[in-house]
Every structure is written in structure tokens, then in C-alpha cells.
Structure 1
Amino acid sequence: MMNLSILLQAAAGQSQWSGIIMMVVIVAIFYFFMIRPQQKRQKEIQKAREALKVGDKVITAGGIYGKIKEIGDVYMVIEIANGVNIQIDKTSVFASSEDAKQK
């Protein structure tokens, strides 16, 4: 009877460690396949936004094509047609239209 309880306790302890190891493995897989690539993409997008200058053609997150007329701290003014300017948040610029055509 004593040996059976010792074996059950040992098995419970071993399964507890395997559960913890399994959780660590799942978190590592999630990080390397989901979080890390997303962070890289965000850094690339941020670099591309910082490299934009007046006169560049861009695409907004809403799909509006335009040409940059003015760049402020947190906004941009883009011309979407002759004499039609809109002010947008810098973060809503999706890509340079030259970059989008290459992809």
C-alpha cells in the first residue's frame, strides 16, 4: 500500500514538470512564429514612414492614393486630386505607392 502511494506521488510530480515544460515550449513557439515576425514588420513599416518626404506618393490604410504635400509631427497632408488635400494621421500611411507596385 505504501509503495503504491509513493509511485502515485512520483508520477504526479513528473507530470507536473512535463506540464510546465510543455507550456514553456508553447510560449516559445508562439513567440518565434507570431510575435517576433510581427515586431519586425512593425519596425520596417516605421522605418518606411520615417523615410517619407514631401512629393512621395503614398497609399493610406483606407486605400486612398495620394501625394504628400506637407509633413507635420503627427499628421500629413496629401493631395488626392488636383487641389484636393486631406490631412491624415502619419500612422495611417500604409506604404509608398512605389513600394506597393514592386510587390
Structure 2
Amino acid sequence: MSFFIPTAMAQQAAPAPQGNPMVTLLLFAGLFAFMWLFIIRPQRKRQKEHQELVSALKKGDEVVMSSGMLGRVEKVDDDYILLEVADKMSLRFQKVAVHAVLPKGTIKNV
């Protein structure tokens, strides 16, 4: 059988490179800093701004919901708001679904 297949000689494994563990730690620290600055911090800022927007809602505010529906706030509860979306038509939404507060008179212009 060795006539067709030459005998294979195993090579010795190359020794693993001995790198500086401090470089690895610095890379992980840099990755964490990148994620903090460009992902985590802006998201927390947006969450805080939205929480302030939702907590400042009051009767008479004109708002746009995340679904795109426009309405005027009639009543504000702990977790829900009652929106007047048309004459004598009110709908109840969760406060967190509010996307933005519009300037007064915007609904009349639309």
C-alpha cells in the first residue's frame, strides 16, 4: 500500500505566539468605550427625553402617536391618556405611545 501513498510525516505544531495580555485588555476596554459612546449613551439620552415628554403631558396638548394618529389630550391618567381624534370621538392610548407633542393649532392646519 505504501507504494501508492507515500508515508506522511507529521509536522510539529508551531508554538502559540505569546502576546502581551495588556494589549488584549486594552482592546476590550476600547471596544467597551466605543459601545458606550456610540450605542448605550445616546439610547439612554433618548429614553430620558421621551420619559420627560410623557411625564409632562397635560390636558389640551396636541400630540402625534407612534402610529401616526394626531389628537388632543382630554385626560391624563397614570399610564393612559384619552385623545380626542375627531368631534365626539375619543380613544385611549398608553402614554408611552406618544411620539411627540405638537405646537398648538397644528391639528387645525392639517
User: Which residue matches 1:12?
Assistant: 18
Runs of 5+ unmatched residues, structure 2: 1-14
Structure with max Cα Rg? 2
Indicate if the aligned counterparts of 1:65 and 1:97 stay in contact, CA closer than 8 A.
no
1:98, CA displacement in angstroms? 2.1
Runs of 5+ unmatched residues, structure 1: 1-7
1:55 is the counterpart of 2:60: yes
**2:86 aligned to 81, 89, 98, which one?**
81
User: Which residue matches 1:69?
Assistant: 74
TM-score, length of structure 1 as denominator length: 0.79
Query: SS state of the match for residue 54, structure 1?
Result: coil
Q: Which has the higher helix share?
A: 1
Query: SS state of the match for residue 79, structure 1?
Result: strand
Alignment RMSD? 2.0
User: Which residue matches 1:29?
Assistant: 34
1:47, CA displacement in angstroms? 0.8
TM-score, length of structure 2 as denominator length: 0.75
Identity of aligned residues (%): 31
Query: SS state of the match for residue 18, structure 1?
Result: helix
User: How many pairs are equivalent?
Assistant: 91
User: Which residue matches 1:46?
Assistant: 51
33-42 or 59-68, which moves further after superposition? 33-42
16-25 or 51-60, which moves further after superposition? 16-25
1:41, CA displacement in angstroms? 1.4
